[in-house]
Chain A
Amino acid sequence: MTPISKIISQRVALGALTLWIVSLIVFAGVQFLPGDVATELLGQSATPEAVAALRKSMGLDIPLYLRYFDWLGSILRGNFGTALANGRDIAELIKPRLFNTLFLAVSAAVISVPLALLGGIVAALYRNTFIDRAINVVTLASISVPEFFVAYILILVLAVHAGILPSLSDVDSETSVLGRLTAIALPSLTLAVVVLAHMMRMTRTSIINLLGNQYIETARLKGLPEWRVLVRHALPNALAPIATVIVLNLAYLITGVVVVEVVFVYPGLGQLIVDSVQKRDVPVVQACSLIFAATYVLLNLTADILSIIANPRLMHPK
């Protein structure tokens, strides 16, 4: 296990470095956008005097690098600061939304990951038969349709016609767990449909890819049934690419669901960061980006560790 703990500590250090670079890039990126928070907030009522006064009240007259170091200093003390636009505490602002985002991502993953593994194995087992093709075509068709369209169709069928699920994911801090699950049923289904095919196909491909190997042949010659050959012998060896793909999709479920949030009016982090980029509210954008980046770094680390565990040759490098 030593190599793993070494890798973990290395990665955590590198993760911190990544986060720092991300914060620099995002900070610079937002500065490059036309306008700033004062002009965006005032919009069409931005007279020069009002903009100047607003800039001053938000501390935007301070030089750029000083503002960055200010921000960096407070973040290192664990303080996200306050939103420029309305002076709200960013930690307070983010907390419920982060929870919503994670809740949705987890429910979508709970639906899609087992289905993807199962579907992938079944497709590999019955490869090139009708079942394989049917699974294939259905999943492909589902991912090649834009996610908002998947959402509209699910809404049409399950909300408008059948009337069994709400088309709006109207949740707040007082919503019960059951209410929450009902509210996010449609968005998590939509997301599950969106990520399912990728994971399923990767599972299938990775397994089939290994079937030519000798140990599979050996297992078959032992007279094991085909499904056991796949699950016990091929699957463990195919775990590295499968884990990578699953992790990528999990990261997507957390960071990339703005469109689904918009369609279902779900108060997650994606909508917050888009709003904040549009309003040039740098501290909020920074805070959200860091959370997203940290999520990604952590998931990434998990994938790497899984790959190492799955491949003993990596565990004990020569």
Chain B
Amino acid sequence: MVKGYSFSSLTALSRRRFLQSAAGAGALAVGSAAGLLPSLAETATPKKGGHFKIGVGSGSASDSLNPATYTDSFMMIFGHALHGYLVEMDRDGNLVGELAESWESSKDAKTWTFKLREGVEFHNGKKLDADDVVASLNHHRGEQSGSGAKDIVKGIEEIHADGPRTVVLSLKGANADFPYLMEHYQLPIMPAKDGKADISGVGCGGYVLDKIDFGVKATAKRFANYWKPNAAWFDSFEVLAIHDVGARTNALTTGQIQAMDRCDLKTINLLKRNKSLEITSISGTQQYVMPMRCDVSPFDNVDVRLAVKYALNRKQLLDTLLNGYGQLGNDHPIASTNRFFAKGLPQREQDLDKARFHLKKAGVTNLKVQLSASDAAFTGAVDAAALYQQDAAKVGINVDIVREPADGYWDSVWLKKPWYTSFTGGRPTADWMFSVFYAADASWNEGHWKNPRFNELLIAARGELDDSKRLEMYTEMQSLCREDSGSVIPVFANYVNALSTNVGHNKIGSNWDLDSFRCAERWWLTNV
């Protein structure tokens, strides 16, 4: 009890300090939330037991247990409770082994060998071996695969087991970041059954599937034979799909759940007054984007793109849309938490004179453009467009806001309209992020941007194993994005969650929301 007491007083203290800094510094405070918590990590002693209920703002009746179909955080969190992955991103953002004990690559970064951990057991009693890993990855590969992870595993030429504990993967092209891909939420390791992955929800994670009602709730019980020490503290774990943020907040304040994701940022200052709650704000990789298509007029002119970028008041967007819970974007997609983040690039500020200058250089005095916006892209996208419209008018850019229906937005607007609002949760590595959204041949090249130098660097950096050389290359690429690409990236949004003070945790991982989707494994209850 003494330990529990000291823990909660620490939480209270850190929350207070966090509040002060948040009030004082707005955007800058965000990083410090994560920075404050390590002090806590040393003293917090996790406790076993209890039933943990979390409410998340996603989940659909059309979800399924097949990891290839995980598309919302409901299934991603639950998937991480049921399953183990080859590798894991630890709370400081380092890639560490989970089911893989170690891995190494050939000199050309084209062949990767993963050594598996011994003594890992699936919920059905089967022992983990190399065939399970092969079957699990093959589940997403091949012509027939309709997996969401198809694009991620398409670089794999061949997979084979080399003995029971070794998996060898040969790639079509060099990829120094390949192990990071194995952390992807759609790639858990499932037991093999007749050479095929068993997708019934049997995994080797800390919790065993109990009941699941898709789009409503899912429960799991602690796995007695879980291999990982000091993890999976709850006796049982429950995820509830609560789409309405008001309902989530009410459920948390009335104690029906112990944690919620995606707090309502408009009213977060009021929620903070509740002494029995802790607000966690983690800066991650999710970013709001307004891509201009570089292959259509007038955005085919780089000066028009720069004028649009300079006219934007990022600070205002951050304060209004996110209530300060985010970080300013610098028109490139690499988050400040990334190891290859270009620290030296100056932050782009609103500069109406420069905007006018570039507009003049482009030879237009009165620019009329349409911005297709919908809150399907991100909460407040239409508001963001309205805010931008006011600033742009000052430099002679007349923005006509086209409000697109949310339903079908990703199909009929995204990638198709000349200028639109978009969102990405980000990717853990720079190469991944660039390859998916900025490479000339990427299917989701949001700005239809084709910069030869950028694409050359992308290939070179992917095969380079020397980190300092890679940093150099990625820095240049970020600068190219900032100056030339069609993507306006005004802000990075934080993961803002609210937890009952009874929920214990260490420093929260920033790879994905809710402790990199691993809250079931990493968090505990202090009042059991």
Contact = CB atoms under 8 A, between A and B. Distances in A.
Q: Do A and B come from one complex?
A: yes
Given A263-B244, A265-B241, A267-B213, A57 B150 contact: no
B62 A167 contact: no
Interface string A47-68: 1111101111100000000000
A86 B145 contact: no
A247 B341 CA distance: 63
A50 B146 contact: yes
A38 B148 CA distance: 10
Interface in A244-287: 262-265, 267, 271-272, 275-279, 281, 284
Contact of B213 (A163, A172, A279): A172
B211 A271 contact: no
B64 A87 contact: yes
Max count, chain A CB within 10 A of own CB: residue among B211, B257, B410, B412: B410
Interface residues of A, number: 56
Contact of A168 (B143, B146, B240, B444): B240
Interface in B43-68: 60-64, 66
Contacts, number: 144
A131 interface: no
B144 interface: yes
Contacts of A278: 60, 407
Contacts of A88: 64, 214
Contacts of A166: 254, 256
Contacts of B211: 172
A212 to B, nearest CB: 48
B242 A168 contact: yes
Contacts of A51: 146
Contacts of B254: 159-160, 163, 166-167
Interface stretch (B97-105, B245-253, B513-521): B245-253
Q: Per DSSP, are chain A's interface residues mostly helix, strand or loop, or mixed? A: helix
Given A44-B410, A50-B145, A86 B443 contact: no
A114 interface: no
Contacts of B63: 85-86
A27 interface: no
A168 to B, nearest CB: 5
A262 B58 CA distance: 12
B315 to A, nearest CB: 28
Nearest to B412: A34
A50 B66 CA distance: 15
Given A44-B410, A47-B151, A264-B247, A279 B143 contact: no
A172 B147 contact: no
Interface of B: 60-64, 66, 69, 71, 143-151, 211, 213-217, 240-244, 246-247, 250-251, 253-254, 256-257, 407-408, 410-412, 414, 424, 443-444
Interface of A: 33-35, 38-51, 53-57, 83-88, 93, 96, 148, 152, 155-156, 159-160, 163, 166-168, 170, 172, 262-265, 267, 271-272, 275-279, 281, 284
21 contacts: A33-B407, A35-B408, A44-B410, A85-B61, A87-B64, A96-B213, A152-B250, A168-B247, A168-B251, A168-B257, A170-B217, A172-B217, A263-B246, A271-B215, A272-B61, A275-B60, A275-B61, A275-B215, A278-B60, A278-B407, A281-B62
